[in-house]
Amino acid sequence: MPDFSPQQAASLMQDSLDRVPLYRWWRSHIVRSIDHPAVVEKIVAESGWSPRYLFMTMMSAGIAVLGLLLSSPAVVIGAMLISPLMSPILGLGFSLALFDFGEMRRALIALAAGSACAVAFTALIVLMSPLQAPTAEIIARTRPNLFDLAVALFAALAGTFAIIRGRGDTVVGVAIATALMPPLAVVGYGVATGNLPVLGGAFALFVTNFVTIALSATVMARFYGFGHALSSQQSWTQTVVLILVFVGMAIPLGLSLKQIATEAVTVTQVRSFLTDRFGSDARVTQLDVNFDASPIAVRSVVITPRAKMQRTFALQGELQQRLGQPVKLQLDQVLLEPGAGAIDAQREELRQAGDAAAIENARIAALARMLGLAAGISSDAVTIDRDHRRASAVAAPLPGATVAAYRALEQRTHADMGDWEIAITPPQGPLPLITFADDADALDAGAREAVLTSAWAAKRWNMQALAVPGLVESPPERPTLSQRRAAAIAAILRDERVTPLSAPAAGQSFRLIRSEETTQ
Q: What separation, in Å, do the N-terminal and C-terminal C-alpha atoms of the chain show?
A: 83
Residues 102 and 221 in one domain: yes
**Residue 73 in domain:** yes
Task: Please count the helices (runs of H) and the strands (runs of E) in the chain.
Answer: 18, 11
Strand order in the sheet with 383-385: 383-385, 390-394, 421-425
- Specify the pairing of strand 296-305 against strand 465-469: unpaired
Q: How confident is the model at residue 104 (pLDDT cuts 50, 70, 90)?
A: confident
Select from 353, 374, 398 the last residue of a domain: 353
Domain assignment of residue 209, given as a range: 34-230
Does residue 38 sit in the same domain as residue 167? Answer: yes
Mean pLDDT of 84-95: 86
- pLDDT value, residue 125: 93
What 3-state DSSP class applies to 85?
coil
Q: Are 92 and 183 within one domain?
A: yes
Within 30-169, where are the H helices?
36-46, 51-70, 73-82, 86-98, 101-128, 136-139, 146-165
pLDDT band at 4 (very low <50, low <70, confident <90, very high): very low
- Residue 393 and residue 446 in one domain: no
Instruction: State the average pLDDT over residues 472-494.
Output: 83
**Tens digits of residue pLDDT in 318-355:** 888 888 888 888 877 777 666 555 445 555 555 555 55
Judge if 169 and 48 occupy the same domain: yes
**Least confident piece of the model among 17-26, 465-474, 501-510:** 17-26
Quick one: 438 and 413 in the same domain?
no
Sequence letter at residue 233: Q
Look at the pTM and tell me if it is higher than 0.75. Answer: no
Q: What percent of the chain has pLDDT over 90?
A: 7
Mean pLDDT of 364-382: 77
Cα angle 440, 451, 384; round to 5: 165
**Residue 167 shares a structural domain with residue 43:** yes
Mean pLDDT across 446-466: 87
**Tell me: the pLDDT tens digits for 155-203?**
778 878 877 877 655 454 455 445 688 899 999 999 998 888 888 888 9
In angstroms, the Cα distances linking 115 to 56, 73, 82, 91, 261 are 12, 21, 15, 15, 31
φ, ψ of residue 296 in degrees (nearest 5)? -60, 140
Distance CA 393, CA 381 (A): 7
Whole-number pLDDT of residue 189:
92
Q: Are residues 437 and 399 in the same domain?
A: no
Query: Do 412 and 383 reside in the same domain of the chain?
Result: yes
List, for residues 393-424, the tens digit of each pLDDT value. 888 887 777 888 888 888 887 777 666 788 88
Tell me: do 77 and 162 sit in the same domain. Answer: yes
pLDDT value for 59: 93
In a domain, residue 418? The reply is: yes
pLDDT at 9 over 60: no
* Range 22-28 average pLDDT: 61
Q: Where does a domain end: 353, 383, 411?
A: 353
Look at strands 465-469 and 513-514 and give their pairing. antiparallel
User: 206 with 295, same domain?
Assistant: no
Q: Do 193 and 333 belong together in one domain?
A: no
Number of domains into which the chain is organized: 4
Can you give the pLDDT at residue 393? 85
Mean pLDDT, the chain, integer: 78
Confidence of residue 18 (pLDDT cuts 50, 70, 90): low
Between CA 196 and CA 142 the distance in angstroms is 11
Structural domain ending residue among the three candidates 311, 330, 353: 353
CATH assignment at residue 376: 3.30.300
